[in-house]
Amino acid sequence: MTRWSVMINIGLAMRNAPNAKSVSTKMFKRLGEGVTTDQVVKQIRELIESGELRPGDRLPSERTLADRLGISRPSVRTGLRILSAMGVLQSRHGSGTFMSSGPPAESQLLRLLAALHGFSADAMFEARRILEVSLAGLAAERATDEHLAMMAEAVADTYASLDDPKSYLVYDMQFHRAVAVASGNPIVATLMDMVTAALYEMKVQTIEHATHLEESAAMHRKIYQAIRAGKADAARAAMTTHLELAQRDFASEEAAEKDGSHADKNDVPRRASRLPKKDARH
């Protein structure tokens, strides 16, 4: 495993809890013939709401679930796929299907919507500013020592990867995720995670053209220092400046990418980012 993928895994907040508990099959009620995939999703949701399924729990096998629910394996599989795409479940090759134990960074939902509706990078950056400026302010009020340590480590990692833009991008995301976690609001943090994951798909294609990584890393440090000092206004201001620069940088990276490689490749994100003015007005 590369350091990069190791860090992604760590960044996704203990999603692969080693001591995941396998749940009892008794909790699954028989659905019987003629059920739709929706009902599989509904039953899982009810089990989550009642606390019987918890983050990190391991689900019974597809076959066991099919027997237990009294429906076909394809119906079970489709239901599980839908939940995986939402980021509620996570299937791990060879070890089974688990309840997600962290925010749905792997959620396909916003990515799919972005592809479908052509969400622009500008609209995504605007969403990030709306969410992350507030998150930075909250983090300044609520961050624990542990949160500060996570941020400090991510800042150090961004500095250490200035000559490796793809790694930089991963540590950059980790820094923002650490700020989000430190805010103490898991709902806003989750929304941020979804936007960031969708934007990452675009960024990873252009990041090799990045020219301001050092400046960006310095801004992370400034945000971190403001949060550590408990200065909410300064943290919000620093985050605003940072995300404005990130948006400008992305636009120039994208332009450089277009100049460098006309046509071919996967041009979906580029098309998506050209479309959008109408989305930005919603």
Instruction: At 183, list the tokens.
Output: 């805010």
Kindly report the backbone phi and psi dihedral angles of residue 28, in degrees, each rounded to the nearest multiple of 5, phi listed first.
Answer: -85, 120
Distance of closest approach, residue 102 Cβ to Zn ion, in angstroms: 20
Give the Cβ contact number of residue 250 at 10 Å: 22
Part in contact with Zn ion (CB under 5 A); list of ranges 50-58, 144-152, 171-179, 207-215: 171-179
Closest contact distance (angstroms) between CB of 217 and Zn ion is 8
- Applying CB under 5 A, the site for Zn ion has a residue count of 1
Based on CB atoms, which residue is closest to Zn ion, 57 or 132?
132
Please state the length of the chain.
Answer: 282
**Shortest distance, CB of residue 172 to Zn ion, whole angstroms?**
4
- Only one of the segments 60-68, 76-84, 141-149, 172-180 lies at the binding site for Zn ion (rule: CB under 5 A); that segment is 172-180
What does each C-alpha distance from 246 to 95, 143, 227, 229 come to in angstroms? 38, 24, 20, 24
Any contact of residue 253 with Zn ion (CB under 5 A)? no
* Residue with Cβ nearer Zn ion (111 or 176): 176
For 100-173, where are the E strands, in sequence order?
none
The one among 57, 106, 132, 172 contacting Zn ion by CB under 5 A: 172
Q: What is the rounded CA–CA span in Å between residue 29 and residue 51?
A: 15
Give the integer Cα–Cα distance in Å for 200 and 169: 8
The dihedral built from the CA positions of residue 190, 191, 196 and 201, taken in this order, carries a sign that is: positive
- Binding segment for Zn ion among 117-125, 165-173, 256-264, 267-275 (CB under 5 A)? 165-173
3-state SS assignment for residue 98: strand
Of 69-77, 78-86, 108-116, 169-177, the window that binds Zn ion (rule: CB under 5 A) is 169-177
Q: Cβ of residue 27: shortest distance to Zn ion, in angstroms?
A: 42
Minimum CB separation of residue 243 from Zn ion in Å reads: 8
Residue 45 has a CB neighbour count (10 Å cut-off) of: 13
Kindly tell me which of 92 and 166 has the beta carbon lying closer to Zn ion. 166
Q: What is the spatial distance between Cα 11 and Cα 193, in angstroms, rounded to a whole number?
A: 11
Query: Which residues contact Zn ion (rule: CB under 5 A)?
Result: 172
